[in-house]
Every structure is written in structure tokens, then in C-alpha cells.
Amino acid sequence: MKRFITLFSILCLGCSLALFSSPTADQIMELVLETQSSSTSALDIKLTLIDRTGNTRERRLQTLSATQYGKTSTLTVFLSPESVRNTRFLSVEGTGGTTEQWIFLPSLKRIRKIAGTEEAGSFMGSDFSYNDMASTTYDTGQADHHLISEDGKSYTVESIPHEVKAYGKTLTIVDKETFLPLEVQFYEHDGKTILKILTTEAIETISDRPVSTIMVMKTHSSSHTTRLEILQARYDIPLPEGYFTTRFLETGRL
């Protein structure tokens, strides 16, 4: 039902955009988020880290996410390389804006309660930060959006975050057909120096929705790149609550 409402709202918005005028930057960025949102998701991800000489390293992880009453729980399991295999990370959003987080380290055989941090650092040595893994765009409450240009296929939107943390500015080129980001440029705090560029290399239709299945993030200063490939994806599927518990974190079993 939720999917129908979402599709209906996208269609309505699409019609209104076509009938009247170009959408506003806020409307575009809301559609970008709407296109990528789901009540639940299960992703099987491969990260390939490529240094400037072409040497590669691979990381494999699977992540489950469920949003209920506006609260999101996320479970991430690291599968490779072997040194991090079966490391599990659980994040449960609670009431009052609090988020509880636990990590299970196989070497310690224990779960450890940890504090949430500003995750601007490199995720598993890749060019993605922890925040990038969650989302590469800002919603309207987080940033001021400006429509910079438009052509037959895409919109270019500048986003300046209200609170500058990792980036001073982003430029997002949005596909008019799918409302997925085709490219995102991330700028330093000065808003002028390019830090990283994210390019979408493949878009597929999964569960009747467009999904960016291959993305490449390049760090400008080091020429180091990370290719993120979604090997498998499931959206809006029933996910047992048992996945988002310290029991699953500790045992790996439902």
C-alpha cells in the first residue's frame, strides 16, 4: 500500500512538474530521496578499493535496514576480507533522537555498546564515508538546494548544508527519468575545492524501482577510487525484528 502511495505521489508530482514548470530544487531533492527510500531493504554489497597504480582490494558486506514509525534500525555484517569476517554492527534508532549502537567483534566474542559518532571518516578504508554509505544527498531540512542548470536529461542541484560537517557543498546531477543521482561532486568546507566525485555507472530496475547498482567514488587529491557494486538487493520485504537484536549480533542466528 505504501508503495502505491509513494508511486502515486511521484506520478502526481511528475505530472505537476510537466504541466506547469521546472520543479524547484527542493522538489527534485525530495524526489531523489523518495526514489531511494523504502520501509525495509536488504543489500549485498561489494566494495573494490583501487589505488592510483591499479592495485585492488575487495570488501564484502551485507546490510539490512528497517524503518518503522520513522525510526530506522540497521544491521551490517562484514563478510570479507577474512580479518573482519563476521564483524557485526547494529544501530537502533530510539525515541528522543537517541541511537543505540553495538558492535560484535569475533576476536573478543562479545558485543560492545558504543557511542554514535560523526561518521565522516573512511568506511572500511574506502573512499566512501559512513555517512556516504547511508546517503549521498541531503534532504530539504539539512541543506539549502539551488537549481543550477537543466538539460534534456538531467538537473544540476547545488546543496549547501545548514551545518557544515564533512562537506561544504555538493553538486548533484539528477537523472530526469529515474530521479537517481548520476553524479555527485563533494566539496571541501570552502565550497570551492573538489574533495570527491561519485559517478553512477549502472542503473537497474529491481523490485519495480530504479536502483544505482554500480557507483564509483573518486578522491580527487589521491586519485584513489572505490567501486561500490550492489550484488543483490531486496526492497520492502518482510524482515523479522529478530535481525535487529543483540541476539542476532551475538549469534548470527535468528
Q: Pick the binder of another protein from 1, 19, 113, 192 (CB under 8 A).
A: 113
Contact 140, 129 (CB under 8 A): no
DSSP state of 11: H
In the complex, the smallest distance separating the C-beta of residue 83 from another protein, rounded to whole angstroms, is 7
Contact 232, 43 (CB under 8 A): yes
- Does position 247 interact with another protein (CB under 8 A)? The reply is yes
- Does position 217 interact with another protein (CB under 8 A)? The reply is no
- Does position 98 interact with another protein (CB under 8 A)? The reply is yes
- Does position 123 interact with another protein (CB under 8 A)? The reply is yes
- Does position 89 interact with another protein (CB under 8 A)? The reply is yes
Torsion of CA 234, 236, 237, 240, to 10 degrees: 110
Q: How many CB atoms lie within 10 A of CB 137?
A: 20
Q: Pick the binder of another protein from 100, 139, 188, 236 (CB under 8 A).
A: 100
How long is the chain? Answer: 254
State the Cα–Cα distance between residues 82 and 86, nearest whole angstrom.
Answer: 9
Contact 224, 56 (CB under 8 A): no
Identify the helix (H) or strand (E) that includes residue 134. helix 130-134
Identify which of 194, 236, 202 has the alpha carbon closest to the alpha carbon of residue 219: 194
> Stretches 113-121, 161-169, 171-179, 193-201: which one binds another protein (CB under 8 A)?
113-121
Total chain residues near another protein (CB under 8 A): 52
- Does position 45 interact with another protein (CB under 8 A)? The reply is no
DSSP state of 22: P
- Does position 228 interact with another protein (CB under 8 A)? The reply is no
- Does position 218 interact with another protein (CB under 8 A)? The reply is no
- Does position 251 interact with another protein (CB under 8 A)? The reply is yes
Cβ distance to another protein smaller for residue 81 or 191:
81
Three-class DSSP category at 133: helix
In the complex, the smallest distance separating the C-beta of residue 232 from another protein, rounded to whole angstroms, is 5
> Stretches 10-18, 23-31, 54-62, 171-179: which one binds another protein (CB under 8 A)?
54-62
- Does position 72 interact with another protein (CB under 8 A)? The reply is no
Identify which of 4, 15, 26, 36 has the alpha carbon closest to the alpha carbon of residue 200: 36
Contact 65, 41 (CB under 8 A): yes
- Does position 39 interact with another protein (CB under 8 A)? The reply is no
Q: Pick the binder of another protein from 2, 12, 52, 81 (CB under 8 A).
A: 81
State the Cα–Cα distance between residues 187 and 136, nearest whole angstrom.
Answer: 12
- Return residues touching another protein (CB under 8 A): 42, 44, 49, 57-58, 60, 62, 64, 77, 79-83, 89, 94, 98, 100-101, 103, 107-110, 112-115, 117, 119-126, 129-130, 224, 232, 234, 237, 239, 243, 245-247, 251-254
